[in-house]
Structure 1
Amino acid sequence: MPLSKAFLADRKKFHFILVVFIVLLLALSSILQTRYNQIIDSYAQLTEKIPGFQDSYWTDKTVAAGNDSNKLEEKEVGPGEGVATLAIVLVNKAQSDISAIKGYLSLPNGFEAVERRYGNSDTESTVTSLSNNSNMLLNNINGLVANSSSNMQPNISNVAFASHDSIVRPGNQFTLYFDIYITNKAKVGTYQGNLELVYSKVLTSGDITAKDIPIFFRVPGKVILDVDTKNQYLTPSKVNKLSIDVVNKGSADANGVIITISNDNDNTAENLAPVTRSSPTKSVQQINSTSSTPDNTTSATTISSTDDGNIDNNSTTGSSSITTVGTQKFDVGVIGPNQIVSIDPSIYPATSAAGTLQNLNIQISYGNALGNRETINYNLGLMITSEPKESNFNVYLQNIDNININSNQSKSNAANSYDKTITAGSIENFVFGIQKTTTDNDIQDLVIAIQPSSESIKILGPSRWSFDNINNNVLPLNTTVFASSDLIGKPVQLNFNLDYILNGVAKSETLELGLYVDGKITIRAYDFEINVVGDEPNLVLNLLNEGNVDALFTTAEMIPPISTNMPSGIAVNNTTLKLVEEYPPMQYLGDLAENSPLPVNIPLKIPNSTEPGDYPVSVKISYKDNLRNDHQLIVNGTVNYSPEVDDANSDTGLFSGLLGPIIILVIILLIGIIAYVIVRRIQKKRNSQRIGTQDHQNTDSEDDLDSILRDND
């Protein structure tokens, strides 16, 4: 029976729906299978342990490449170190082999990563395929590496990169080497960073990412020891105290420091001497425990200098150059950063070492910031002078008013120092004292010569003296000196060259005396007078600096008058007339230049009862010189005061004062009379006009009446 069209249509719809259902069922099955696999993989990753942090240290490895997991030699690093290599040691805690390990270390403040392109074929391309979570980070590193290859300077980023391309078996260690730039902002101490690892399992596809692995590393600091001495010149045939400073210029403590002065074959005793330690903020004295040699004798180290400058050992009885007397080993202890430790060994140079350069061997043993023991050697150069630096005389400036010095005068009194200044542009007398400092009286044929250090200063008086014998402790030298004006404000030096014979041996020495060249300030006041400025009297005078240097910060102040026949500074008695009762305040004038008059105006309040006449006035001038020393000068003068005549206060003025109002009153009266007369005339004129008008009107009325009467007639 043939099927109907409706049945066939329903059948096609059914088949279509069935096909769609089967397709959806297959798609859902595939999605569920994929999700199941992801869940299984995630569970496997969760149950699988990631590599763990084991150790960290700084190493001498300068390029972060290679797969050697053996620990390299540690090194000290400190703030501002620059580029250094940080080794991070990790252990594979997984149950399978891992490889293609890449690490990204996030650094704290004070540290910056330095990315480089390495020469190994396995790491030539720094970036490999990673998981989607780290693609952006790798792109940044690609840019840094590309820039690093094009520029000579290393590139800086916030994340340091390192890789390890060998297979790491379960339980084995592997090391990642990160190149890190240590800035000056870093401090000595422990820091934490976060490490992200990207690696893959052997025979397994895909990458595994382990994030936020805590990494701890330490900046231990560096110990940098240096040696210096304040007195490199030693005197032969004499025990010299040599002050040697050992300074720690690093950023970490030097622990257990022991300083030994010796050469290679010395058997030094275990004497421990006191040391002085100082820092930029303090200085303390530390005395270490000491121990003596078994026989309680003092040890000595003999060092000699050969022709080629090498240091040889010799016995103390042989031909020696310099010998260390007393303690040779100093137990210093701890030397902190920027701390200085001083030791004071005793050195005896032989007479044969005079005029030569000797080397002193200094050995320093200490514990560094990593706890390792290190030993360093220094050769300290010492110059042995040709002859002992001994002076038998001293020079100073004597008081010119007292040049006779008693031979029994004490040195403290004889060496009294007076004003060591010389005025430029003028000839001045000086008395120099040559004082004998030795107790040896056998000094003969003494010759003294003065030699200025500048061509602008000349000795105009005697410049050379000779003495056969010295009977007094002090020899006065009287002479005159001239200094040019171009030396104003500068120090000069006078050299005293002495030649004499002491105990039959000719000797020479030079004494130095410093002087300061100052200018001359001479202030003169003139043209004292009283001027009226704006109805107010002013004391006017002119100041002139006749010297050769400016008077600084000059002020003027009017004071009670000083009598001209009395010494300066003595006020006149109360019977003397005074121009003012109340003195004006001090006035600031500024700098008073040389050879340039400066006018001074001082406002005055002169009482009305002051009579005319001559009055003495005194003005105190204060100023400073180039050395800012205060000076005061009182200038005196006489002014003539003539008050202005006031007519109102005199007889004529009184008359005029009375006459003036009378005249004004008369004028007012005249004006009133004139006004009255004018008003009266105006009124009369108006009245006359009014009367004429009325008469005219009356006449007209009468004429009109007459005309009317005529008409009626």
Structure 2
Amino acid sequence: MLSTRMPFKFSTRGLGVKLAIPLLIVMLFVPTTLSTLNAYGQVVTVVPSGNGHLGIVQTQDCFAPLTTILDATYAGPVVVDSYWVDQGTSSATDVTSNPVKKEIGPGEGPSVFAVVFNNRGTAYSITSITAFLNLPSGFSPTGESANPQLLQHYNQASRVATTPAIGNYYGTVAPGASFTMYFNINVLPTAKVGTFATTAVANYVQVGVVGQQCTSALLNVPLVLPGKVVLDASTVISDLAPQSKDSISIAIENKGSADATGVVATIVNLGNSKGGTGSSGSGGSVVLQSSTTQIVNLGPNTFNLGTIPAKSKAVISTTVYPGTAASGSTQEVQLQIDYQNAWGKLLTTTISTGLVIAPNPAQSLSLSYLGNTSTPVITASALDDLNFAVANNSTDPMSNILISLVPQSTSVSVVGPSTWTITDLEPGDRQILTTKVYAANTLINSPTSFTLTANYVSKGQTQTNSLTLGTFVVGDIKLQIYGLTASSAGGTSNLVGNLLNQGSTTALYTTVQLAPSQLTSAMKAARLANSTNNQTGHSFGQSAQGGDQGFQGVQGTGGQGFQGGQGAGGQGFQGGQGGGGQGRSGPGFQGGGGQRGSSSTNGPQFIGDLSPDSPIPINVPLRLNSLPSGMYQVAFKVVYADDLKNFHTVILNGTVFVAKSAPTTAPQSESILDQIPLPVIIGIPIAVAVAIAFIIKRKRSAKKKLSLLTQGDTDIVSIFDGTKKENES
């Protein structure tokens, strides 16, 4: 027997109604709980309190699954841009549509890195956004990201980095809207310029999603270290010569770590003093507005340089002409440089450098005195020559040279030319100029000066050079000797005359002496002849003239004993009077005549100061008794000093008449032995010995006769007769 069952019918609609009604009833009586994500990325669960107010009952980290695949179905924040900004930049001040991107290079230190996000593909707004940026080598977290106490709340960040940089966004981001998060990062010197592929974990909460605590996403972030452009300028050739066209080169150097692109350099200020104004006109041309401009640019002003790589330079060149007023000064060169930085942003900077303009060469036209001494000496009351040289010592020709000579004292006059004109003077050329000057006697022994001025044109500019020429004025000394005569006084012959200074100043320390002349030669020849005669003319027989006669001479009363002759050796001396006396038969002894030279005429005679127009007599002793009479040329050597104590020697010539003179006596200053000739000195002892022997013989003969008378019958008459005969014989 078959049994039949009714089929079971399940109605979902009925089941839903049955379940919904009890659930609504429970919700009416059980407090509602809310979950959200705080600013630190932690999930906070909020439940109502007993009095109807909400209270925090639970806080935990966000352990939501990490979204790593960002496909077309992904809804949430995505990275759209990243760059560096200035310190203090925040979302309130940042303009996302036109951000100010900062150049950052290695070793920059604490910096701010901005990452732009977009809430993509979702119908929900997001809030409570925290991002953990993984840092590559060369970067480290700084600021709040480096706070160890704060990092304890971010355990979930360890899934992507150990020391991340942390960024927060506190607002609510609508669907499709963008927002910027900022990370404090320390850029180390070891960082490299370039783009680093790094990641960031973003935790966020979708507003309006029931039961969702938080959501995490692993996002790719391009961390770009762009580098920095640092431009500088310096002159390669900075020293210029005035009044000449010179080429200058200026190096524009990129000292930074990023390339400068699209570089255009323009000279906007050239030659103005520092602080002068200059501006660039249309088309990059230079308009110098300062009236003190001292350099003219003859070359280009604008230079298109393109790219200047990091750590390299570009050189620009132009031609300038410094004016005369710029010589010996420094001049400013100001450049305006337009370029694109590491982010491609067009920037403009102004850089200044300088030029050094050399001074005009000193003494380009040299003036110098020509003479035997370094200081000119002018003789008063006379026309003196004054010579000087004009030379071009520069490397440029000179023209229209006008030279003038002006004395600084009214007692000095330029008697000759005082101005000269030279049309052209090439480099290295030299010309001698001469004139005559006259100084009055009032300037004797005093200094004076002249001013020599030269005006000329060089490099198209008029220049002036001058020379102060110091001189010393001295007097003139002109000596003359006159009134020469030969005279005898006191038994001595003398040559007398007068010495006259016909100049304008005193001759100091004057001395005079005989110089070789016709007169001295004649005197020398006469002495030589007398000396020869004396050597052959003396004999002992002449001095005795027989034995008895000589004896009678000795026994004489008042006769002349001996007389000296003339001999060689200068002026002779006259023999002294004999002491024997004159006998009955004449003189006792006569020796040869000998004369000795005298030194009285050899040495100079000191006269002293010889004033102008005041003659001084001179007297020179001479031995003239042996000279033939007649006119003789005579010379005097005169030595004197001028006003500058410089000694001078002159020879003065004259004539003198010498008459035949009688023998003269020797000066008293000589001894008696010097007056006696040598043969006479030898003959005197011999004559004395003969006389003594004769006397002894006579005495013996007389004694013998006397004895004969006393001894015998001798006839005394015969004895006296014998004696008489002997005497007569």
TM-score category of the 2 structures, normalised to the smaller one:
0.3 to 0.5
Question: Between Structure 1 and Structure 2, whose CA radius of gyration is higher?
Answer: 2
TM-score where L is the length of structure 1: 0.38
TM-score where L is the length of structure 2: 0.37
